[in-house]
Amino acid sequence: MEIHQLSLLDVSDRIRRRELSAEEVVRALLARIEHHDRRLNSVILLMAETALDQARQADAEIAAGFWRGPLHGVPIGVKDLLWTEGLPTTGGMEILADFRPAEDATVVARLKRAGAVLIAKLHMTEGATLVHHPSMKRPVNPWSAAHWTGVSSSGSGVAPAAGFCFGSIGSDTGGSIRMPSAANNLTGIKPTWGRVSRHGVIHLSEALDHIGPMARSAADAAAILQAIAGADPKDVTTLPNSVPDYIASMRSGVDGLVLGIDWDFVSGGGVPAEITATLKAAAKVLEDLGMRVREIDFPTGEDYYGAGRAIFGAEVAAAHAEHFPQKADRYGPWLRALLQSAQNISPVDIARGLFERERLRGRLRRLFQEVDLILAPGLGRLLPTWATMEAMGRGEVPFDADIMRFTSPFNVGGVPTISFPGGFTEDGLPIGLQLAGSWLAEPMLIRAGVAFQQATSFHTRRPPLD
């Protein structure tokens, strides 16, 4: 097996036991990026020299008996909205082409402290929205060039799937960890809001933004989350709760846990039969592993989506107040139109949105007293083509909000999710699923993700690049 095909935890163990050097691993991945990323365009800044320096430092530390943990010497990519000291951090925006922060984001600093090798900053949509800036060539899905990569963490989805890094950091405001995970056959964890620091993040919507890992398995994603989670004095919104041992938790299995599914919710609204069939098969796997499946009524009656839009619109306007409208001509047309429309959101809309958010959170609290986890699709549609999504972005056809139907409620609610590969279409395209849990239920989500992946092999399939 070639180096890029190994799991994060496998390559970590080989580096720790000095069967592989971190420098050897980095050089192998740099060569792979050089060979394939000219076509895939997932990397916005390749950090080759610093990555080699970090790898050599990791090798020296490990040789001296100092092992920092599972990320030590392992190449990781970060979405280009995380500050990196002295290096360009664009947030996918032309207006920030010259921005070089004076410090690292807390997540970046924690990755470095864990000994991770930062190999690249990864491409993304403009301002973490749904469309790439016209001046920035969009990434290509390694499973099918014609199909969507998911957004906004587009490069963070493509790079691990293509074997350019062993995991990446994404952000999620309405599904931007889960949609690229579904599109690229990855596992992503959107943590509880406040579980991971957002200091040093170029925000889209502060009340909805989450930072989390994307990798090729639940176990690998858990290792990354272990390094980045926890309270941060630079971000007062982080939770003070101690960080559990996520890696240890994945050994516990799922026997006795209660799995909730609202079949009307997950199969209604034109959800394709292939997604419904994939959900049923996944529920059967989890039931065979010892979970008790229970039908539920997911809270769909109130205007939670409108609530999310009102909060989102107001906070997008706040995030761009320094630059918009005075630099409106430097924005792409989609984000410019979004910011113009955000000027029309009234205080009443925002107040209603905040109240609807609290109603959703209250109903979720009640629901999670009945079940441990909720199963839902990752996307509300089979993987769309870029042609379809770009037509929506240009306003030529209405935006299909059902694509995000199963992701945005968990941002408004602030609860954690794990997204994971559930199967493939007849055409060989990935179908992603997600589990949601109550606040700070990441250990339970990881247990379920690992158990499912021990019983299935969808996550082990790789895109046909070689």
What domains are there in the chain, each with its CATH number?
3-303+346-460 (3.90.1300.10)
State the 10-residue block means of pLDDT for the chain, 466 residues long: 96 98 98 98 98 98 98 98 98 97 98 98 97 96 98 98 98 97 98 98 96 98 98 98 95 95 91 97 98 94 70 95 96 96 92 91 96 97 96 88 92 96 97 98 98 98 90
Beta strands in 180-267 (DSSP E): 187-190, 210-215, 258-261
| Alpha-carbon dihedral 211, 216, 217, 218, rounded to 10 degrees | 10
Strand 43-46 versus strand 75-79 pairing type: unpaired
The Cα 77–Cα 30 span in angstroms is 12
| Alpha-helical regions (H) of 96-217 | 106-113, 154-162, 178-184
The Cα 73–Cα 54 span in angstroms is 7
pLDDT confidence of residue 376 = 98
- What are the distances in angstroms from CA 256 to CA 246, 252, 262? 19, 11, 19
Instruction: Tell me the two tokens of residue 269.
Output: 């609204």
Nearest to 288 by CA among 437, 454, 444: 454
The Cα 404–Cα 37 span in angstroms is 28
Tell me which residues are annotated as active site.
79, 152, 176
pLDDT confidence of residue 301 = 61
Is residue 437 a contact partner of residue 372, using CB atoms and an 8 Å limit?
yes
Q: Give the phi and the psi of residue 147 in degrees, each rounded to 5.
A: -105, 155
Query: Residue 433: which H helix or E strand, with range?
Result: strand 430-437
The Cα 434–Cα 378 span in angstroms is 5
Beta bridge partners of 260: 294, 374
| Alpha-helical regions (H) of 206-250 | 218-228, 246-249
The DSSP string of 314-338 is HHHHHHTTTTTTTTGGGS-HHHHHH
Which SS3 state, helix, strand or coil, does residue 293 take? strand
The Cα 283–Cα 306 span in angstroms is 30
Residues 6 or more apart whose CB falls under 8 angstroms from that of 261 comprise: 279, 283, 293, 294, 295, 296, 374, 375, 376
Nearest to 324 by CA among 309, 308, 303, 340: 340
Instruction: Tell me the two tokens of residue 252.
Output: 């516990």
Q: From its phi and psi, is residue 352 left (phi > 0), alpha (psi between -120 and 50) or beta?
A: alpha
The Cα 279–Cα 14 span in angstroms is 36
pLDDT confidence of residue 394 = 85
Buried b (16+ CB within 10 A) or exposed e, 154-187: bbbbbbbbbbbbbbbbbbbbbbbbbbbbbbbbbb
- pTM of the entire structure? 0.98
The Cα 4–Cα 25 span in angstroms is 8
pLDDT confidence of residue 308 = 76
